[in-house]
Amino acid sequence: MTPHQPSQGLTRPLPMPVRPYEDETTRSYIRRINTANALHHGELMKVLKRARRPWVYSLSVWMETQPDTLVLAMPQLGKHRSEPAFRQKLVGRPIRTTHSPACHRCTLTRDAGPYIEIYTTHERVICPDHSLWIGEGIAGFTDQFTVHACPEITTAWHHHKNLITRHGHSQVRRAFHIASVINWSWYDQFQHFTAAMDIYDTLAGEHPRQANSKALLAAALYPSIVTLTAVIAHPIGWRTPARPVPTFSSNGSATKSPTDGNHREPSTPCDTGWKPTGHPDSADPTRFSRANPND
Ligand SMILES: [Zn+2]
């Protein structure tokens, strides 16, 4: 098969149409078009850069697809579209900053090949249909692994989505970022995190080839990160119960302050602050320090 000449096909459809995948990056889509039509790597990109019009129109001609269809699948192609009714359809789609491989079982199911790069968001860490980890640490589709053996991860994912419903996406995104930095810092400092290590050991036993990978560690830390995210995202998450202010009598002994009668005992998880879960007799230094934040 001789390579197709894209310069000749600029205004006509290419022989092999490629269906766009939801939230696929433009780079990934063009790569798949190149592959399907036996084009040289980078040929289509050269033509697109030479054309003096938005890429979506050239792609729609090559694929014999309406431009709107491409934009609904890949909103980054619709920057020039300002119609309110059309933009309303794109509300809530991923922010165009982070991308990662899509669940390869989903892409194979849709005849799109094993590797598609998609724009993603912080809460898209597992595929709900296949329970594959697609979050932090995944560089290629071969890095993805199932989390069936650790229901804590799926439970945390549902908790994560509920937090977004309750507090809004941007607030939870900020909180999740802070919680991630804190948890990874604790792990890097102590190289031990009991609750996470229990999950890590289970996952490593299921997927020995992934052992020691960042993705496996990220999955193990995820429930702890979500738990801390819940506290940070909550409007009063960091409020700790007021502590009685001791006063001293003339003989030097401490007595209760007059405000002790109004002292509010912690009654909700948020009042008590975040506490890692796990075995109470753990020697984990991170658990010890965080479980006693006032010590
Ligand atoms: Zn999937």
| pLDDT tens digits for range 242-286 | 555 454 444 544 444 444 444 444 444 444 444 444 444 444 433
Ligand 1 center to 21 CA (angstroms): 13
Mean pLDDT for 65-88 is 84
Ligand 1 center to 106 CA (angstroms): 4
Ligand 1 center to 51 CA (angstroms): 36
Please check whether residue 81 lies inside any domain of the structure: yes
294 within 8 A of 240, measured Cβ to Cβ: yes
Percent of the chain exceeding pLDDT 90 equals 50
Q: Helix 55-63 vs helix 26-36: angle between axes, to the nearest 10 degrees?
A: 30
Ligand 1 center to 48 CA (angstroms): 32
Please check whether residue 178 lies inside any domain of the structure: no
- H/E run at residue 224: helix 214-233
Ligand 1 center to 103 CA (angstroms): 5
The whole-number pLDDT of residue 219 equals 96
User: Sign of dihedral through CA atoms 30, 35, 37, 42?
Assistant: positive
Ligand 1 center to 131 CA (angstroms): 7
HSE of 284 in the Cβ direction (CA atoms, 13 Å)? 23
**DSSP at 78:** G
Q: Binning pLDDT at 50, 70 and 90, where does residue 161 land? A: very high
Please check whether residue 152 lies inside any domain of the structure: no
The whole-number pLDDT of residue 53 equals 85
Please check whether residue 20 lies inside any domain of the structure: yes
Ligand 1 center to 108 CA (angstroms): 9
What gap in Å lies between CA 204 and CA 220, rounded to an integer? 10
Please check whether residue 40 lies inside any domain of the structure: yes
144 within 8 A of 114, measured Cβ to Cβ: no
Task: List phi, psi (to 5°) of 248.
Answer: -115, 130
Structural domain of 89: 1-93
Computed over every residue of the chain, the mean pLDDT equals: 80
Give the burial class of 56: count Cβ atoms within 10 A of its Cβ; 0-12 exposed, 13-18 middle, 19 or more buried. buried
Please check whether residue 75 lies inside any domain of the structure: yes
Total number of domains constituting the chain: 1
239 within 8 A of 271, measured Cβ to Cβ: yes
Answer yes or no: pTM beyond 0.95: no
Taking 50 as the threshold, does the pLDDT of residue 241 lie above it? yes
Ligand 1 center to 276 CA (angstroms): 30
The whole-number pLDDT of residue 257 equals 43
The whole-number pLDDT of residue 76 equals 86
The whole-number pLDDT of residue 251 equals 52
Please check whether residue 87 lies inside any domain of the structure: yes
What gap in Å lies between CA 70 and CA 57, rounded to an integer? 9
Please check whether residue 17 lies inside any domain of the structure: yes
Range of weakest confidence among 59-68, 74-83, 216-225: 74-83
The whole-number pLDDT of residue 259 equals 42
